Amino acid sequence: MDRASFYEQVYQVTRLVPKGRVTSYGAIASYLGTKGSSRMVGYAMASSHQISPPVPAHRVVNRNGVLTGKFHFGSLTAMEDLLAKEDVKVLDDKIVDFKNKFWDPAAELDLEK
């Protein structure tokens, strides 16, 4: 699979993350059948800000609920601000109640592969 088609698959999954929920780079990679490529999912998120239709990249965090991608949002608080608008609380760059806010595409979506 080439990088462009992988990124588009990542964007398709990310667009399905419901408002008020978050997922992780690794969960997306695993869902796409490329478990070891969570870093590539991160690269896709970093490149997603000009994509149409929009990609809610603010809903993708690391496996511990940390906002590791916040540096790609134009300001250091933009990612947290977007999450706050969806009633996702963040404390010290980490999702509060991450376990209950976590959305796992493997559990929520039908695997159509």
* Residue 2 token pair: 């080439």
CATH code 1.10.10.10 for 3-104: yes
Query: What are the C-alpha distances in Å from 76 to residues 12, 44, 63, 105, 112?
Result: 26, 19, 20, 27, 37
On the question of pLDDT at 111 being above 60, the answer is no
Map out the domains of the chain as residue ranges.
3-104
On the question of pLDDT at 110 being above 80, the answer is no
State the pTM of this model: 0.92
Give me the mean pLDDT over the 30-44 stretch. Answer: 94
Instruction: Tell me the per-residue pLDDT of 47-103, one tens digit each, with 9 for 90 and over.
Output: 998 899 999 999 999 999 999 999 999 999 999 999 999 999 999 999 999 999 999
